[in-house]
Amino acid sequence: MAEAGGSDLLEGPGLVNAFRAWQAATGGQPRDWHFHAGLTDRPAIPLPCDLLFPSESAAEKALADWLTTAAPHLVQPIRMLRPAPRTRGLRRFFRGGRSGAGETLDASDRLVSGMLAAPEGTYQVAKATLTDITRLTVALARDASRLGGVVAPGGRGDAGASDGTTGLYAVLARPWPEMAGLHELPTVAGPLSLVPMPNDLMLAHVPAGGEVSTGRDLEGLLAAILTRRATLRTVAAGSVGATACLRDLLPHADGLTGSAGPLHDGGMDGGYGLFANRVAATWAHLDAAYIRTLISRHGASVPEMLDGVHRDMDLGEDLGGGLFGREVDWMIRHEWAGDATTVLHQRGPFAFRGTDPERLRRWMDQNG
């Protein structure tokens, strides 16, 4: 096949290739991008390397600023606790009267009590952004295609092959909703990362190997750290192979600024809140929480997706977990979702909860 714009052929899935395809298209040299099977190279699990700390480097700040402009529906601001030198002069709190565990925090940050307590050490509050990498990959690919690039399945079968398990994760219900996260907490099992997520969930992640080999092992490790002896409930657990993440974009993001404008799916006139309110008012017969969930995945494309929906039944079959046939059909036609696994992976962090994969596969076999 001829190479689009006279450039080399991109092959293999992943965020970096999506970004390169988008950059080429915006620069007037659209490229062919072929990927095997799924568009992304990872399941919809956020990893610690998807966090940006804009105060730490100019490159991270530039990328975070661009993402907030380009795809505001996919970027979530969060606050983390990170190890800090004791000389920072921040105020230390001991939880539950126990001198053996505590955090070093700035009280003016208004972090509520009932926080996850750190082992002995000094910690500071750090502002971070977490980006939905699976959805960002799709949004970049859609823009690259819209601007003349060729995005299609058909690459080599080993294009997205993993080199083996590099980390283990557990998605857990938070012991209490207001809990903050600890980032890169040192333990005997390796550095443990905790990331607070929407829907009262949190992600625990450790490198592969050592004493932690299952989600239940992670529960035990966390229970030993928590100030309150809360019962932890695992929502999902598994392993993650070598995949691209947000920090892998830093070498490719030189000169990136917010002036580049939003991606098509991020172009929400008036900002995220006003846009969501307008869509909810237009489709007032639909549940407002469901509409906001759709916007968190598809952004400015939601009105096009819902065009012609006049009643609940127009959404199609309920596949569980807030997934309906109409959204699946959209993902098949506009987002290169060729099978049930791809659909579930492209729905964003933790969106797989409640969806029956077998029922989804049957629906796609009948309607795909």
Instruction: Kindly compute the dihedral angle of the four CA atoms of residues 51, 217, 207, 225, in this order, to the nearest 10 degrees.
Output: 50
The domain 1-43+132-160: what is its CATH number? 3.50.50.60
Position 247 scores a pLDDT of: 92
DSSP state of 166: E
Position 111 scores a pLDDT of: 35
Residue (of 28, 93, 12, 39) closest to 344 by Cα position: 39
Q: Please say whether the beta carbons of 142 and 262 come within 8 A.
A: no
Q: Contacts by 344-347 with C-beta closer than 8 Å and gap 24+? A: 344/43, 344/44, 345/38, 345/40, 345/42, 345/43, 345/44, 345/134, 346/38, 346/39, 346/40, 346/44, 346/134, 346/135, 346/138, 347/44, 347/134, 347/297, 347/323
Strand 181-182 to 75-83 pairing: parallel
Position 213 scores a pLDDT of: 66
Position 178 scores a pLDDT of: 64
What are the strands of the beta sheet with 75-83, ordered from one edge? 51-52, 123-131, 75-83, 181-182
Give dist(CA 44, CA 60) in Å, integer: 22
Backbone angles phi, psi at 100, to 5 degrees: -85, -5
Choose the CATH number for 260-367 among 1.10.8.870, 3.40.50.150, 2.130.10.10, 2.60.40.10: 1.10.8.870
98: helix, strand or coil: coil
Q: Please say whether the beta carbons of 63 and 256 come within 8 A.
A: yes
Sole residue written with tokens 């969501």: 276
**End-to-end Cα spacing for the chain:** 27
Position 37 scores a pLDDT of: 80
Position 348 scores a pLDDT of: 74
**Tens digit of pLDDT per residue, the chain (368 long)?**
233 444 578 999 999 999 999 999 988 999 999 998 889 888 788 888 899 999 888 899 999 999 999 999 999 888 777 766 554 333 333 333 222 223 344 323 333 333 444 444 566 777 889 999 999 999 999 999 999 999 998 866 554 455 566 788 888 887 766 666 677 777 766 778 888 777 778 888 888 766 666 666 777 777 766 655 566 777 778 888 888 899 999 988 877 765 567 999 999 988 888 999 999 999 999 999 999 999 999 999 999 999 999 999 999 999 988 899 999 999 999 999 989 988 988 887 666 667 888 999 999 999 86
